[in-house]
Amino acid sequence: MEMARVIVDVPSKDTDRPFDYLIPERLRPWIEVGSRVGVPFGHRTLQGFVVSLHPRPEMETSKMKPIQEILDVMPPLSPELIELGEWMKERYACRLITALQSMLPTALKGKAERYISLGDGSGLEAEQPDSLFALLPESELEQQLIAFVSQRGEVSLQQLTRAFPDAAQAIKGLIERGRLSEHQQIKDKLQKKTLKAVGLAVTAEEAEGILASFPAKARRQKEILQHLLEMEPFLPLPLKDLLQTLGVTAGTVKALADKGWVTLEDVEVFRDPYRGRNFKPSEPLALTSEQQHVYDRIVRTLDQRAHGVFLLHGVTGSGKTEIYLQTIARCLDQGRQAIVLVPEISLTPQMVERFKGRFGDRVAVMHSRLSDGERYDEWRKIREGRASVVVGARSAVFAPFDNLGLIIMDEEHETSYKQEETPKYHARDVAIHRAYRTGAAVILGSATPSLESYHAARSQAQDDFAPVLLEMKARALGNKLPAVRVIDMREELREGNRSMFSRPLHEAIAGRLERGEQTVLLLNRRGYSTFVMCRSCGYVAGCPECDISLTYHQKSNNLRCHYCGYAAKTPEVCPDCGSEHIRYFGTGTQRVEEELAKLFPGIRVIRMDVDTTTEKGSHEKLLKQFREKKADVLLGTQMVAKGLDFPDVTLVGVITADSALNLPDFRAAEKTFQLLTQVAGRAGRHQLPGEVVIQSYTPEHYSIVHASGHDYLSFVKDELKHRKALHYPPYCRLILVTLSHEQLPLLVRMAENFAAGIKSEADRRGWFGSLDRFDASALDILGPVASPIPRLKNRYRFQCMIKWRGTMDAVSLTRSVAEQLQDSARDSTLQISIDVDPQMLM
């Protein structure tokens, strides 16, 4: 192939298509679909990805420029991932390059750098030999510049200007006259980490011979050779270590290298975030009969190497993880690879340990707390085939495996699987699509599946993507699900209890303290914010740019906007009325902690929230302390609800169950139910029986009633009724379109134009209509209305919600109307964001 289509690494509308380049002879063996290359583009050199290869066209190709360089030995992308990117582009209305970028570690975001070398003299002097230029003697500065460059062969422009700070004009002149030449080359943001290493360059016998004939005074050199000879199996040693052990100098080693007896080279070292840690090896457990049934069903599909999606609905503690481990083992035996997705928040060391313990070094781990370097190295471990299992958060769904057999998504209902920045993809849909294309199986696991997945599995839709429902109703260790009590907090108040702890929860904690058992306390912070309010006049401190209240941070004693980062000092008197009665509201974990200390003197509490877990490794440290029983209570936000498996936890308390129920989000009830079920599942997982106390101001709400009965099915039944009546997923799909602009009147007009455009275009295609008939395709649009956050970073925001059902391509309709509006507005300050299947409605 002599020609490549390349998509350049610039996310803009004009570059959202491949460009043609010639493949020069010297690069031909290296260029593949998925290769990362440097290409000339206008006056610049850009990074790009080869998306397809073609023979040289018949037509005149002199205009086509050649690919300049190739950036990796192994292409970072594959035809399969590029195809996945193309699918994402259509599905989520994003640009192809944005989709591809989201698959790669940031370390691979190369930028062009400019390099200077000696010119061939073919500048102006060559064209005009008689011109004055040729006769002009070079200045002293110019001679110095030329000498500097010729000594080094090639220097970066940056390096050259650093050495000669005032020489910009002179450098330019030399380039124009062809004495120097400039070219651009892509440089990665991050380099592989290397280490100088020393190794034997001769065979063992040769080395013996050399040693025997060595002059006595070269004692140091002899020692080095001797040392290297003793090292089995002659692996290169880090230079630093060698110098330290033998007490020799680098010069001595260099002398040996100059004689050609030892090698001195840069070898790559891998940054392993889990280096030096021992993971207790674990053996497969004998499966329970429920587990066996589920395992057999999944393995049947694996063995056929067929595509299949399974929704594994198993109660908390039913042993889903063991199913994951054993199906992965089967997949690895087949020589295929597996991806395990877990929500960021539950990517705990305990989780990692279970996989590393079973599969050892074959496991790569990817999460957001890794440094860019660590992440790059873990990624390469996968790309180069040194890992065959990856455990990671959302973006691990793009792991560059070439023979994928299984994708597992634990806690499949978690909203964090949806990426909130472009490309706004949902890892579940990407996983299912990727598996479909590669003939892999997918396991979606949860004790509380999302209504979308559950509905799809139950309705047995006749398509390739509808999951097969597999259920596990009992806990693996045979113990019962914990008893749940719901306490009406209004009642408590009526009877004179003003504390945030009800009497039953108070008693239950006291009992645990006496018996030396442990308690997990959840503070549902969603919907709560600790804001500052004046009790005299009602003033609330808000962000001047975002129309949203500022959040109080106790540690730094300041107020911060969680959207734009604006920070201010906490006022001591009200800026509006001057009153001193201004203070923060809301129940922070810190206040609960204070109250606990007051009620139970001497109680040992570990607090886990955003404030105590910012430091790398702190999450892990806190959990370890709790596991070692250095605390009686683990108190925290959502973080304590998931995945933890501690034998001595016999009580789970929920401070306020319903704080999130009133949020303007159609999933509010679902999320409340899920959170309560998850956290309740932390109690009594082993020998000791568990108990759960849920405090609520609306104990009659169906999400709380059903969570207390561990009754997923009844919850689903009630919730689906609401969804159906109000036309929400799973009975239709949504597209949230947000328009923003600095000027309000203009924005309102454009938002109205947008809505009208959708209506008329949908009408023209015969799609527009009411969603009331469930057997028919239909599309409806709500809005425009001001967004829940009406102003953000000084831009006003309006939104439209498109609801649709059926086989039409509503995404491409939305995209084309948005692009038309953007074109006609000819106003680059209008921003339109399209969120397909949105999760966050606030």
Matching residue, tokens 């042993």:
319
Which one of ligand ATP, Zn ion, none is in contact with 577 (Cβ closer than 5 to 8 A by kind)?
Answer: Zn ion
Closest to Zn ion by CB, 563 or 666: 563
Residue 543 marked ligand-binding: yes
Which one of Zn ion, ligand ATP, none is in contact with 576 (Cβ closer than 5 to 8 A by kind)?
Answer: Zn ion
Judged by CB under 6 A, the residue of 200, 447, 639, 683 near ligand ATP is 447
Query: What span, in angstroms and rounded, lies between the C-alpha atoms of 156 and 727?
Result: 60
Characterize 53-91 residue by residue with b for buried, 16 or more Cβ atoms within 10 angstroms of its Cβ, and e for exposed: eeeeeeeeeeeeeebbbbbbeebbbbebbbbbbebbbeb
Smallest distance from Zn ion to CB 310, Å: 43
Which range in 135-143, 179-187, 314-322, 718-726 contacts ligand ATP by CB under 6 A? 314-322
DSSP 72: -
Q: Does 573 interact with Zn ion (rule: CB under 5 A)?
A: no
Closest to Zn ion by CB, 44 or 535: 535
Both tokens of residue 807? 């086989």
Residue window 450-479: x/- pattern of binding to ligand ATP, with contact defined by CB under 6 A: --------------------------xx--
| 85 residue type, one letter | G
Q: Does 684 interact with ligand ATP (rule: CB under 6 A)?
A: no
Residue 546 marked ligand-binding: yes
Residue 800 marked ligand-binding: no
Q: DSSP of 535-604, one letter per residue? A: TTT--B-B-TTTSSBPEEETTTTEEE-TTT--EEEPPSS-TTT--S-EEE-S--HHHHHHHHHHHSTT--
Residue 574 marked ligand-binding: yes
Smallest distance from Zn ion to CB 838, Å: 21
Residue window 505-534: x/- pattern of binding to Zn ion, with contact defined by CB under 5 A: -----------------------------x
The Cα angle at residue 518 between residues 514 and 524, in degrees rounded to 5 = 125
Residue 534 marked ligand-binding: yes
Which one of Zn ion, ligand ATP, none is in contact with 395 (Cβ closer than 5 to 8 A by kind)?
Answer: none
Which range in 86-94, 155-163, 316-324, 366-374 contacts ligand ATP by CB under 6 A? 316-324
Q: Does 107 interact with Zn ion (rule: CB under 5 A)?
A: no
Both tokens of residue 210? 């050399």
DSSP 54: E
Other CB atoms within 10 A of residue 776 CB = 11
Which one of Zn ion, ligand ATP, none is in contact with 539 (Cβ closer than 5 to 8 A by kind)?
Answer: Zn ion
Smallest distance from ligand ATP to CB 291, Å: 6
Tell me the three state secondary structure of residue 360.
Answer: helix
Matching residue, tokens 């016999």:
650
Other CB atoms within 10 A of residue 526 CB = 16
Which range in 283-291, 481-489, 528-536, 610-618 contacts ligand ATP by CB under 6 A? 283-291
Q: Which of 385, 291, 390, 406 is nearest to 342 (CA)?
A: 390
Continuous segment of H or E residues that includes residue 298: helix 289-303
Both tokens of residue 473? 């109703």
Smallest distance from Zn ion to CB 549, Å: 10
Query: What span, in angstroms and rounded, lies between the C-alpha atoms of 644 and 117?
Result: 59
Query: What span, in angstroms and rounded, lies between the C-alpha atoms of 711 and 320?
Result: 19
Q: Does 291 interact with ligand ATP (rule: CB under 6 A)?
A: yes
Which range in 281-289, 608-616, 717-725, 822-830 contacts ligand ATP by CB under 6 A? 281-289
Which one of ligand ATP, Zn ion, none is in contact with 182 (Cβ closer than 5 to 8 A by kind)?
Answer: none
Which range in 86-94, 108-116, 553-561, 695-703 contacts Zn ion by CB under 5 A? 553-561
Q: Does 561 interact with Zn ion (rule: CB under 5 A)?
A: yes
Length of the chain: 842
Q: Does 287 interact with ligand ATP (rule: CB under 6 A)?
A: yes
Measured on CA atoms in the order 504, 506, 512, 515, is the torsion positive or negative? negative
DSSP 614: -
Q: Please work out the total of residues on this chain that contact ligand ATP, with binding judged by CB under 6 A.
A: 20
- Residue list for the binding site for Zn(2+): 534, 537, 543, 546, 561, 564, 574, 577
Residues lying near ligand ATP in the complex (CB under 6 A): 285-288, 291, 314, 316-322, 447, 476-477, 643, 645, 681, 685
- Residue list for the binding site: 534, 537, 543, 546, 561, 564, 574, 577
